[in-house]
Chains A and B, each alone.
Chain A
Amino acid sequence: MDLLGQILKYVVLIVLAISFLLPFYWMVSSAVKDDAQVYVVPPIWFPRPQFWENFWNAWNSETFNLWTFNTVVRYAIPATFGTVLSSSLVAYSFARIDWKGRNAVFAIVLATMMVPDWVRLVPLFVIFKTLGWINTFNPLVVPAFFGNAFFIFLLRQFFLALPLELSDAARIDGASELRIFVRIILPLSKAALAVVALFTFMNAWNDYLGPLIYINQEDKWVLTLGVGRLRSAVDEIGNTKLAYPWLMAVSSLITLPVFLAFFFAQRSFIEGISLTGLKG
């Protein structure tokens, strides 16, 4: 009976795992098809021959190099830098400085996580438009320098766990609070800071709504907007491009960095998420 239960469990696990992976396999295998291999019944799971040049051709069919540059250099890197810097400063205040009103302010930080982004969107658009920031990366990057409630919470949990004696000893030696923060707390928190950097970078890499609203000029697009180009080719009638294979090829390429990050930093991902969900 127990054996039967074990077998059943593994059957369920394996069937589930396969169906979870199937969309990704479909994406990558379709990326190396030509059109004749796309529009057939039954579907081809192992395309022969494979057209690996689709990756290269699809990538070069639009300005994906420029859009990658925009995504990484003009959006993700500055947003990550700003978030890590500001969120760790603020988290330090909530975790390691005992000030009056701290708990009340921290409660507001947590409460802001429930405020829907949509309620802020129109006025923010008006503000950024007045500042002349539409079609720049400022609306996406500048707010990152003012802390993110989610990451403030995560870092605060981490800082709280560091022994207080460390700071006390440094204070007796006359170190300023900023010096304690930079020289003692930050070096001990590399793992947590890495989680924040990883998540922020990935959020920027995956972000669609922000660029959709603030960036209309094509030379300022990010990757998530750029792939849409290949999507419209799919819907065009009588197009001569390899519409679906190309769409899948570029989709695979922009998933690859996320996959690699996850592959090499799986622990950080898992721990970062369980930390925020649990200790609250």
Chain B
Amino acid sequence: MIALRRLLPATQREWRNFLLGVGFASPWIIGFLIFTLFPIGSALYYSFTRYDLVRDPVWLGVQNYVAFADDADFRLVAGNTLWWVLLSSPLGVLSAFLMALLLNSRIIFRSFFRAIFFFPAIVPVVVTAFVWIFLLNVQYGAINSTLQAWGFKTIPFISSPDLMKWSLVVIHMWSQGAAMVIFLATLQDVPKSLYEAATVDGANAFHRLWNITVPMVSPIILFNLVMSFIGGFQYFTLPWIMTQGGPSRSAEFYAIYLYRNAFQWFRMGKASALAWVLFVLILLFTYLIFRTSGRFVYYAGAAR
């Protein structure tokens, strides 16, 4: 009872503030209940059913989940997605970090270069997809017809199952502007005195990078990595527009499979089960990263 009383407003003034605060926050609170909490809950319910939107849901128990165990499609898309998350996230973060490092050094036309590196991040994804399809086309794409003209063999960037995912990684590294800007802002906050002191002590550029810059921005590396993981698990639009998951399903990622189940085959129950597995995977991944990050991440000002 005492604990409960401490949670509730006590004085009249506290009540007034409470009602005002909740009132101002009510759009989000209502929206959270309707558009987030309720859907997450009903997705859990649907995941235990067979549901085609026309007939009422039929209760199946855990059958949808159990079936994933020997579902070859599930294994394929899970494998593709794991590959994608484990490769594209670190490489994307690396790309953003290196661009930011380059921009943070003393250069002329910095904001001009920054604009160039940033811009791909805000282009409509459909445009990114169409331009790169054309650019990477095996016959008349800019890259391959150049190779051909120089007498080299053409490279089937997006028509070979072995190369498709790598092509997506390259496009991903090309559109890291947002992460780059976040890195850049952090780099500018690293105290200059640290570098000066290190230089006096005889540290070379690499030492300064590894022993000062990397530790000082490590919380942001972690932040960008986690955001990238979360996004990577849900990767959909670009591979969907480019090849609808092809060639030979090499770019059929988890979200594409989920989309097909839900909106092409109307297996809403199975799609919901897929969604919940994804949800739990993301939570687990994030938790694990934060648990193990303590060893790699340096928080300035935190007691060690």
Give the distance in Å from the alpha carbon of A227 to the alpha carbon of B116 in the complex.
25
Judge whether B275 and A122 touch: CB under 8 Å.
yes
Judge whether B182 and A278 touch: CB under 8 Å.
yes
Q: Mark A110-131, 1 if CB is under 8 A from B, else 0.
A: 0010111111111111110100
Judge whether B27 and A209 touch: CB under 8 Å.
no
Give, as a whole number of angstroms, the nearest-CB distance from A215 to chain B. 12
Judge whether A270 and B118 touch: CB under 8 Å.
yes
Query: How many residues of chain A are within 8 Å of chain B by beta carbon?
Result: 87
Give, as a whole number of angstroms, the nearest-CB distance from B233 to chain A. 7
* Interface majority SS (helix, strand, loop, mixed), chain B: helix
Is A191 at the interface (CB under 8 A from chain B)? no
Is A280 at the interface (CB under 8 A from chain B)? yes
Give the distance in Å from the alpha carbon of A132 to the alpha carbon of B207 in the complex.
62
By a CB distance below 8 angstroms, the chain B residues around A10 are 107
* Interface majority SS (helix, strand, loop, mixed), chain A: helix
Residues 131 to 145 of chain B near chain A (Cβ within 8 Å): 131-132, 134-135, 139-142, 145
Residues 72 to 124 of chain B near chain A (Cβ within 8 Å): 99, 102, 105, 107, 111, 113-120, 122-124
Give the distance in Å from the alpha carbon of A202 to the alpha carbon of B69 in the complex.
41
Is A179 at the interface (CB under 8 A from chain B)? no
Give the distance in Å from the alpha carbon of A90 to the alpha carbon of B149 in the complex.
59
Provided the pairs A93-B25, A123-B42 are in contact, do residues A177 and B20 lie with their beta carbons within 8 angstroms? Answer: yes
By a CB distance below 8 angstroms, the chain A residues around B199 are none
Q: Mark B2-22, 1 if CB is under 8 A from A, else 0.
A: 000001110000100110111
Is B276 at the interface (CB under 8 A from chain A)? yes
Judge whether A97 and B145 touch: CB under 8 Å.
no
Q: List 5 A-B contacts (CB under 8 A).
A: A43-B141, A97-B17, A99-B20, A254-B124, A278-B189
**Chain B residues within 8 Å of A, Cβ to Cβ:** 7-9, 14, 17-18, 20-25, 27-32, 34-36, 38-40, 42-43, 46, 53, 99, 102, 105, 107, 111, 113-120, 122-127, 130-132, 134-135, 139-142, 145-146, 148-150, 174, 178, 181-182, 184-186, 189, 220, 223-224, 230, 233-234, 236-237, 241, 255, 258, 262-263, 268, 271-272, 274-276, 278-279, 282-283, 286
5 further A-B pairs in the complex, CB-CB below 8 A; given A119-B43, A202-B122, A224-B126: A13-B107, A41-B148, A90-B24, A114-B282, A244-B134
